[in-house]
Amino acid sequence: MKRRPLMTACLLTLPALLSACLPAPLRSQSGSSLTLTAQLDDTLKVAEGEYRRPGPAQLRVQASGASPETYLYALVLPDQAHPSAAARLLMPTPQPLPGGQTATFDLPPASGFTQVFVVGSPRTLMFPALGSNVGQLSEALKAATAGLPAASWNVTTQVYRAGDYGQLRVLSEPSGANVYLGGNYRGRTPLTLSAVPAGNLALRLELQNYAPLTRTVTVRPDQLAEVKVGLRPQPAVGHLNVQSTLPAQVQALGSLKEVRGPAPLSADLPAGDYALTLTPLGSPLKAAWLGLSVARNQTVNVWCAPEGERLSCQIQ
């Protein structure tokens, strides 16, 4: 199986922390006199950093700083999962950009994750071959800015994913179940999601007192997938722990279940009332008897020890 580069994995899991995953030349330059602000157009935007294909058409950039003019360059790196991925160099028109004005880059169609590094410089830059990954791109930028004062240029970064999306409607009986899609909470049933990445997705429903339900759903581009499920009631279950300072045989007798075994004993029990009997082993002490109740999700701890002529038990 082909491994994806480490940088791509970092982007997939921590897009908000992208700067921590990048080589230094591709990060925002600390102490720079130049400030760059970039914004993607939201025509096809479905969520933060998520777009329908072919992705955002334009990127608008504003530059401000000590220099009256700024030369701008956009280094566009497509999804590295694509075999033919290669970075592209884009420049806006007009060039250079007067201070305080906004330049627009026309972005190429995209699929998957795309990284855009906008470079601002007080003079023109000459770039060598950009390569096809962040390491090669970093070296190209390092070479292009080698003759510039360290605080005179800067970089700003945009990351987005372009893909196919469909709709998903989730219904449950009873309603009010928590819906998790791909491990992320999305709301409660009945629930309709208008922008769901196309493909096979893990769906999980959780509702108190009902068994969790997990299944795979297929969402097709520009289509509505509907899931209707009946949730199965989950029996009310608690837990019983019995400890004894003397060897003893334990019996917990209830209307739905009986448990026997030597102490210490630990068992899951249906919620309800139980008669607990502990019979000492190899001892003339009389058996202990205790009535107790076990509630849903409750753990009942019982401690038993000799008391006079008998074994005595107490709920802790």
Neighbour tally for 60: CB within 10 Å: 14
Tell me which DSSP letter residue 210 carries.
B
Copy the structure tokens of residue 15. 């897009």
237-315 has the same fold as 165-230 = yes
Contact 22, 157 (CB under 8 A): yes
Helix (H, G, I), strand (E, B) or coil at 180: strand
pLDDT of residue 76: 97
pLDDT digits (tens, 9 = 90+) for 2-44: 334 434 434 433 344 455 578 999 999 989 999 999 999 999 9
pTM score: 0.67
Whether residue 284 is preceded by a cis peptide bond, meaning omega within 30 degrees of 0, is no
Which positions of the chain have pLDDT values less than 70? 1-20, 83
Contact 160, 113 (CB under 8 A): yes
Determine whether 135 is exposed, middle or buried from the number of CB atoms within 10 Å of its CB (0-12, 13-18, 19+): middle
CA distance 191 to 229: 13
pLDDT of residue 27: 92
pLDDT of residue 20: 56
CA distance 18 to 55: 19
Copy the structure tokens of residue 178. 């928590």
Q: Up-side HSE of residue 181: CA atoms within 13 Å toward CB?
A: 22
Determine whether 256 is exposed, middle or buried from the number of CB atoms within 10 Å of its CB (0-12, 13-18, 19+): exposed
CATH architecture of structural domain 165-230: Sandwich (2.60)
Which residue bears the tokens 């090669």? 136
CA distance 1 to 241: 48
Domain assignments of the chain as residue spans, ordered by start: 6-162, 165-230, 237-315
What percentage of the chain's residues is helix, strand, coil (to nearest 5)? 10, 55, 40
Residues near 240 by beta carbon (within 8 Å), at least 6 away in sequence: 252, 259, 265, 266, 267, 268, 269, 274, 292, 294, 299, 300, 302
- Share above pLDDT 70 across residues of the chain, in percent, rounded to a whole number: 93
Assigned superfamily of 237-315: Domain of unknown function DUF5300 (2.60.40.2890)
> What distance, in Å, lies between the first and last C-alpha atoms of the chain?
55
Neighbour tally for 298: CB within 10 Å: 14
Contact 207, 231 (CB under 8 A): yes
In whole numbers, what is the pLDDT of the chain averaged over residues? 90
pLDDT of residue 247: 95
Determine whether 110 is exposed, middle or buried from the number of CB atoms within 10 Å of its CB (0-12, 13-18, 19+): buried
Copy the structure tokens of residue 73. 């360059």
